[in-house]
Amino acid sequence: GESVGLHLPTLSVQEGDNSIINCAYSNSASDYFIWYKQESGKGPQFIIDIRSNMDKRQGQRVTVLLNKTVKHLSLQIAATQPGDSAVYFCAESLEGDSTLTFGKGTMLLVSP
Amino acid sequence: GAVVSQHPSWVICKSGTSVKIECRSLDFQATTMFWYRQFPKQSLMLMATSNEGSKATYEQGVEKDKFLINHASLTLSTLTVTSAHPEDSSFYICSALRRTSGEQYFGPGTRLTVT
Protein backbone atom coordinates (compact mmCIF):
# COMPACT_ATOMS: atom_id res chain seq x y z
CA GLY A 1 0.00 0.00 0.00
CA GLU A 2 0.90 3.67 -0.14
CA SER A 3 1.49 5.90 2.84
CA VAL A 4 2.59 9.46 3.22
CA GLY A 5 5.50 10.07 5.56
CA LEU A 6 6.67 13.37 6.96
CA HIS A 7 8.21 14.36 3.64
CA LEU A 8 8.30 11.34 1.36
CA PRO A 9 5.38 9.16 0.30
CA THR A 10 6.16 5.46 0.38
CA LEU A 11 4.90 2.66 -1.81
CA SER A 12 5.34 -0.85 -0.45
CA VAL A 13 4.99 -3.80 -2.82
CA GLN A 14 5.82 -7.49 -2.98
CA GLU A 15 8.49 -8.83 -5.28
CA GLY A 16 6.97 -9.68 -8.63
CA ASP A 17 4.16 -7.15 -8.36
CA ASN A 18 3.80 -4.30 -10.81
CA SER A 19 4.46 -0.87 -9.28
CA ILE A 20 2.96 2.43 -10.29
CA ILE A 21 4.56 5.64 -9.07
CA ASN A 22 2.77 8.90 -9.70
CA CYS A 23 3.90 12.48 -10.10
CA ALA A 24 1.98 15.70 -10.48
CA TYR A 25 4.10 18.27 -12.26
CA SER A 26 3.78 21.97 -11.80
CA ASN A 27 4.31 23.79 -15.08
CA SER A 28 1.83 23.29 -17.89
CA ALA A 29 4.46 24.63 -20.30
CA SER A 30 6.95 21.87 -19.47
CA ASP A 31 7.58 19.64 -22.42
CA TYR A 32 10.28 17.24 -21.32
CA PHE A 33 10.02 14.84 -18.41
CA ILE A 34 12.43 12.41 -16.83
CA TRP A 35 12.17 9.74 -14.17
CA TYR A 36 15.16 9.19 -11.91
CA LYS A 37 15.98 6.49 -9.39
CA GLN A 38 18.02 7.44 -6.35
CA GLU A 39 19.46 4.86 -4.01
CA SER A 40 20.47 5.83 -0.51
CA GLY A 41 23.60 7.97 -0.45
CA LYS A 42 23.91 8.13 -4.24
CA GLY A 43 23.15 10.55 -7.04
CA PRO A 44 20.06 10.25 -9.26
CA GLN A 45 20.17 7.64 -12.00
CA PHE A 46 18.30 8.19 -15.29
CA ILE A 47 15.52 5.67 -15.91
CA ILE A 48 13.38 6.90 -18.78
CA ASP A 49 12.25 10.14 -20.37
CA ILE A 50 9.33 11.37 -22.45
CA ARG A 51 8.57 14.46 -24.48
CA SER A 52 5.23 16.20 -24.45
CA ASN A 53 4.36 15.09 -27.99
CA MET A 54 4.02 11.54 -26.64
CA ASP A 55 1.72 10.06 -24.01
CA LYS A 56 3.50 6.76 -23.49
CA ARG A 57 7.00 5.44 -23.75
CA GLN A 58 8.32 2.00 -22.88
CA GLY A 59 11.71 0.83 -21.77
CA GLN A 60 12.98 -2.37 -20.27
CA ARG A 61 10.45 -3.27 -17.54
CA VAL A 62 9.46 0.40 -17.25
CA THR A 63 6.75 2.48 -18.89
CA VAL A 64 6.15 6.19 -18.51
CA LEU A 65 2.71 7.67 -19.09
CA LEU A 66 2.07 11.35 -19.57
CA ASN A 67 -1.31 13.04 -19.19
CA LYS A 68 -0.85 16.68 -20.09
CA THR A 69 -4.49 17.53 -19.46
CA VAL A 70 -4.13 16.97 -15.74
CA LYS A 71 -0.33 17.47 -15.58
CA HIS A 72 0.27 13.95 -14.42
CA LEU A 73 3.15 11.60 -15.01
CA SER A 74 3.43 7.99 -13.94
CA LEU A 75 6.14 5.36 -13.91
CA GLN A 76 5.15 1.73 -14.16
CA ILE A 77 7.66 -0.93 -13.17
CA ALA A 78 6.82 -4.46 -14.21
CA ALA A 79 7.74 -7.46 -12.07
CA THR A 80 9.27 -5.31 -9.35
CA GLN A 81 12.45 -6.66 -7.79
CA PRO A 82 14.14 -5.92 -4.44
CA GLY A 83 16.84 -4.08 -6.37
CA ASP A 84 14.19 -1.60 -7.48
CA SER A 85 13.89 -0.34 -3.90
CA ALA A 86 14.88 3.32 -3.98
CA VAL A 87 13.43 6.81 -4.12
CA TYR A 88 11.97 7.77 -7.49
CA PHE A 89 11.78 11.36 -8.67
CA CYS A 90 10.12 12.89 -11.68
CA ALA A 91 11.69 15.98 -13.18
CA GLU A 92 10.38 18.48 -15.71
CA SER A 93 11.94 21.03 -18.00
CA LEU A 94 11.14 23.39 -20.84
CA GLU A 95 12.43 22.94 -24.39
CA GLY A 96 15.64 24.84 -24.82
CA ASP A 97 16.16 25.11 -21.06
CA SER A 98 18.28 22.40 -19.49
CA THR A 99 17.20 23.36 -15.96
CA LEU A 100 15.34 20.54 -14.25
CA THR A 101 12.66 20.94 -11.58
CA PHE A 102 12.32 17.88 -9.43
CA GLY A 103 9.13 16.54 -7.90
CA LYS A 104 8.86 15.49 -4.26
CA GLY A 105 9.79 11.85 -4.78
CA THR A 106 8.33 8.50 -3.80
CA MET A 107 10.10 5.81 -1.86
CA LEU A 108 9.54 2.34 -3.29
CA LEU A 109 10.04 -0.56 -0.89
CA VAL A 110 10.04 -4.04 -2.41
CA SER A 111 9.67 -7.00 -0.08
CA PRO A 112 11.06 -10.39 -1.16
CA GLY B 1 28.48 6.03 -20.74
CA ALA B 2 29.16 9.51 -19.46
CA VAL B 3 30.64 9.68 -15.98
CA VAL B 4 30.52 12.52 -13.49
CA SER B 5 32.58 12.34 -10.33
CA GLN B 6 32.49 14.36 -7.13
CA HIS B 7 35.21 14.80 -4.59
CA PRO B 8 35.12 14.32 -1.72
CA SER B 9 32.29 11.83 -1.33
CA TRP B 10 31.86 12.92 2.25
CA VAL B 11 33.39 15.56 4.47
CA ILE B 12 33.09 16.64 8.09
CA CYS B 13 34.15 20.16 8.98
CA LYS B 14 33.93 22.49 11.92
CA SER B 15 31.56 25.42 12.03
CA GLY B 16 33.12 28.55 10.54
CA THR B 17 35.46 26.77 8.15
CA SER B 18 35.17 26.53 4.37
CA VAL B 19 34.78 23.39 2.30
CA LYS B 20 35.39 22.90 -1.42
CA ILE B 21 33.55 20.26 -3.43
CA GLU B 22 34.69 19.32 -6.92
CA CYS B 23 32.52 18.10 -9.78
CA ARG B 24 34.24 16.60 -12.81
CA SER B 25 32.96 15.26 -16.09
CA LEU B 26 35.43 12.43 -16.73
CA ASP B 27 34.86 11.57 -20.37
CA PHE B 28 33.01 14.50 -21.90
CA GLN B 29 33.01 18.26 -22.00
CA ALA B 30 30.36 20.15 -20.07
CA THR B 31 29.67 23.78 -20.81
CA THR B 32 27.09 23.84 -18.04
CA MET B 33 27.05 22.20 -14.63
CA PHE B 34 24.35 22.37 -12.01
CA TRP B 35 24.61 22.26 -8.24
CA TYR B 36 21.80 20.82 -6.12
CA ARG B 37 21.25 20.46 -2.40
CA GLN B 38 19.22 17.66 -0.90
CA PHE B 39 18.10 17.41 2.71
CA PRO B 40 17.08 14.03 4.17
CA LYS B 41 13.83 12.64 2.77
CA GLN B 42 13.46 15.64 0.48
CA SER B 43 13.86 16.35 -3.19
CA LEU B 44 16.76 17.90 -5.02
CA MET B 45 16.72 21.68 -4.95
CA LEU B 46 18.68 23.55 -7.60
CA MET B 47 21.13 25.96 -6.04
CA ALA B 48 22.93 27.38 -9.05
CA THR B 49 23.84 26.94 -12.67
CA SER B 50 27.50 27.08 -13.52
CA ASN B 51 28.65 28.02 -17.02
CA GLU B 52 32.23 27.58 -18.13
CA GLY B 53 34.07 30.86 -18.22
CA SER B 54 31.29 32.98 -16.79
CA LYS B 55 29.63 33.76 -13.50
CA ALA B 56 27.22 31.28 -12.00
CA THR B 57 23.51 31.95 -11.88
CA TYR B 58 22.02 31.42 -8.44
CA GLU B 59 18.47 30.42 -7.59
CA GLN B 60 16.38 32.69 -5.43
CA GLY B 61 17.29 32.40 -1.79
CA VAL B 62 20.78 30.98 -2.36
CA GLU B 63 23.53 33.27 -1.10
CA LYS B 64 26.15 33.69 -3.78
CA ASP B 65 28.74 34.94 -1.29
CA LYS B 66 28.29 31.85 0.84
CA PHE B 67 28.22 29.27 -1.94
CA LEU B 68 31.05 30.18 -4.29
CA ILE B 69 31.00 28.46 -7.65
CA ASN B 70 33.86 28.34 -10.12
CA HIS B 71 33.64 26.65 -13.52
CA ALA B 72 37.15 27.16 -14.79
CA SER B 73 37.25 24.45 -17.44
CA LEU B 74 34.93 22.32 -19.54
CA THR B 75 35.37 19.40 -17.17
CA LEU B 76 35.50 20.94 -13.70
CA SER B 77 33.21 23.00 -11.50
CA THR B 78 33.78 23.65 -7.82
CA LEU B 79 31.41 24.63 -5.04
CA THR B 80 32.91 26.23 -1.95
CA VAL B 81 30.76 26.48 1.13
CA THR B 82 32.23 29.40 3.06
CA SER B 83 31.91 29.87 6.80
CA ALA B 84 29.94 26.67 7.06
CA HIS B 85 27.29 26.26 9.75
CA PRO B 86 25.45 23.15 10.95
CA GLU B 87 22.41 24.11 8.87
CA ASP B 88 24.58 23.76 5.75
CA SER B 89 24.89 20.06 6.47
CA SER B 90 23.32 18.37 3.47
CA PHE B 91 23.89 16.16 0.45
CA TYR B 92 25.31 18.23 -2.42
CA ILE B 93 24.88 16.84 -5.92
CA CYS B 94 26.20 18.18 -9.19
CA SER B 95 25.16 17.39 -12.74
CA ALA B 96 26.91 18.10 -16.01
CA LEU B 97 25.38 18.94 -19.36
CA ARG B 98 27.14 17.13 -22.18
CA ARG B 99 28.02 19.72 -24.77
CA THR B 100 27.48 17.47 -27.80
CA SER B 101 24.15 15.92 -26.82
CA GLY B 102 22.54 18.21 -24.28
CA GLU B 103 22.03 15.24 -21.96
CA GLN B 104 22.49 15.78 -18.25
CA TYR B 105 24.47 13.38 -16.06
CA PHE B 106 24.54 13.38 -12.28
CA GLY B 107 27.43 12.93 -9.92
CA PRO B 108 27.32 10.58 -6.91
CA GLY B 109 26.89 13.39 -4.40
CA THR B 110 28.92 14.75 -1.48
CA ARG B 111 27.71 14.41 2.09
CA LEU B 112 28.67 17.49 4.09
CA THR B 113 28.40 17.45 7.87
CA VAL B 114 29.20 20.63 9.78
CA THR B 115 29.85 20.19 13.50
* Residue B99 C-alpha, separation from nearest chain A C-alpha, in angstroms: 11
CB pair distance less than 8 Å for A100 and B93: no
- Least Cα distance to A85 among A23, A13, A8 occurs for A13
pLDDT at A1 over 80: no
Q: How confident is the model at residue A7 (pLDDT cuts 50, 70, 90)?
A: low
Is A100–B42 a contact, with Cβ atoms under 8 angstroms apart? no
Q: Collect all residues of chain A within an 8 Å Cβ-Cβ radius of residue B108.
A: 42-43
Higher pLDDT: B1 or A2? It is B1
pLDDT for residue B85 is more than 80:
yes
Residues B46, A99: C-beta atoms closer than 8 Å:
yes
Please count the other Cβ atoms lying within 10 Å of the Cβ belonging to residue A51. 11
Starting at the earlier edge strand, list the strands of the sheet with A56-58. A19-24, A72-77, A62-67, A56-58
Q: Are the CB atoms for A85 and A72 separated by under 8 Å? A: no
Distance to chain B for A102, nearest Cα, Å: 6
Question: Do A65 and A76 form a contact (C-beta atoms < 8 A)?
Answer: yes
Cβ-based neighbour number of residue A102 at 10 Å: 21
pLDDT digits (tens, 9 = 90+) for B27-73: 999 989 999 999 999 999 999 999 988 899 999 999 999 999 999 89
What's the rounded Cα separation, in Å, for the pair A25 and B81? Answer: 31
Whether the pLDDT of residue A97 is over 90: the answer is: no
